[in-house]
Amino acid sequence: MEAEEPQRRDPREAKEIDYARHRRSAAEYPHSWRRQLPRKKAHAQRAFRRSEAKTLRAARGTVRGSQAEQTAADLDDLQRETVVPWTVPTLREHVNRVLDNRVERLAWNYFKSPYNSARHRQSFARFLAALTAGRQGHSRDYAQRFESILATPPAPTSGLLGSWPPDPARIHRWLLEFFADEPEWDQHLRDWIAQTRSL
């Protein structure tokens, strides 16, 4: 009897299964939780037993009615520490987080320092030209990022943007200073944002 050939899975279906099943950990030793979890549970259980024993030792001997009630209330108040495993994101969650960070860090190498016409004007114009020429990938996400920045009232003065997370108001001020040098980019950028809404 001939063995049946394994059924080939559609690549898109296989990718969806991988995204749901596989997990991505940033820990240096991602499997150490298998050893640590039983130890943490045992530690929590031991601490709970010792607390119970301490409460009962305090009530040792002849116990009057009020003392018995107080001891019973103290025992009821004792709670065992809840031990939960480390949360490890699925591959889909990890990829989505990476893409979100990529959008949030868009042009951060420009925005992290105050606008300087001699340093930033030409290179940032080239960056915008390359960004707005693309119609694939995450153009809509990048356009939404710029749209939210332009919708934020600009900061009254420009300053150092080196802190994280980036401040949209300061980035808007940075863009206004760039638009003062390159006024045509103001409308061109807004037109690109409007075009990407229909993608």
- The model's confidence at residue 79, banded by pLDDT at 50, 70 and 90, is confident
Evaluate if residue 59 carries a pLDDT over 80.
Answer: no
Q: Average model confidence (pLDDT) for the chain?
A: 83
Quick one: what percent of the chain has pLDDT higher than 90? 25
pLDDT at 1 over 60: no
Q: Is the pLDDT assigned to residue 153 strictly greater than 70?
A: yes
Q: Can you tell me the distance from the alpha carbon of 163 to that of 153, in angstroms, rounded to the nearest whole number?
A: 19
Q: Judge whether residue 178 has pLDDT over 90.
A: yes
Contact 83, 144 (CB under 8 A): no
Alpha carbon 21 to chain centroid, angstroms: 20
Domain closes at, from 41, 61, 77: 77
For residue 60, being part of any structural domain is answered with: yes
> According to the model, what pLDDT value does residue 160 have?
59
What are the respective helix, strand and coil percentages of the chain, to the nearest 5? 65, 0, 35
Average pLDDT over residues 137-150: 86
Same domain? 69 vs 111:
no
pLDDT surpassing 80 at residue 24: yes
Number of domains in the chain: 2
Q: Which domain holds residue 55?
A: 31-77
Amino acid at 119: R
Q: What is the pLDDT of residues 88-127, one digit of tens each?
A: 888 898 888 888 888 888 888 888 888 899 999 999 999 9
Domain identity same for 133 and 60:
no
∠ CA 95-96-98, nearest 5°, is: 65
* Cα of 81 vs its chain's centroid, Å: 27
Tell me which of 57-61, 107-111, 168-172 is least confident.
Answer: 57-61
User: Is residue 136 very low, low, confident or very high in pLDDT (cuts 50, 70, 90)?
Assistant: low
CA distance 171 to 142: 14
Residue 48 has pLDDT above 80, yes or no: yes
Is 117 found in the same domain as 186? yes
Say whether both 122 and 182 belong to one domain.
yes
Q: Which two tokens stand for residue 139?
A: 């153009």
C-alpha span between 176 and 198 (Å, rounded): 26
d(CA 34, CA 12): 32
Assess if residue 89 is contained within a domain.
no
Write the DSSP assignment of 99-119 as a string of letters.
Answer: HHHHHHTTTHHHHTS---HHH
Q: At what angle do helices 184-196 and 117-133 cross, to 10 degrees?
A: 30
Predicted TM-score (pTM) of this structure: 0.60
Nearest residue to 132 via CA among 187, 189, 69, 61:
189
Looking at residue 199, its pLDDT comes to 63
Angle at 124 between CA 112 and CA 101, to 5 degrees: 50
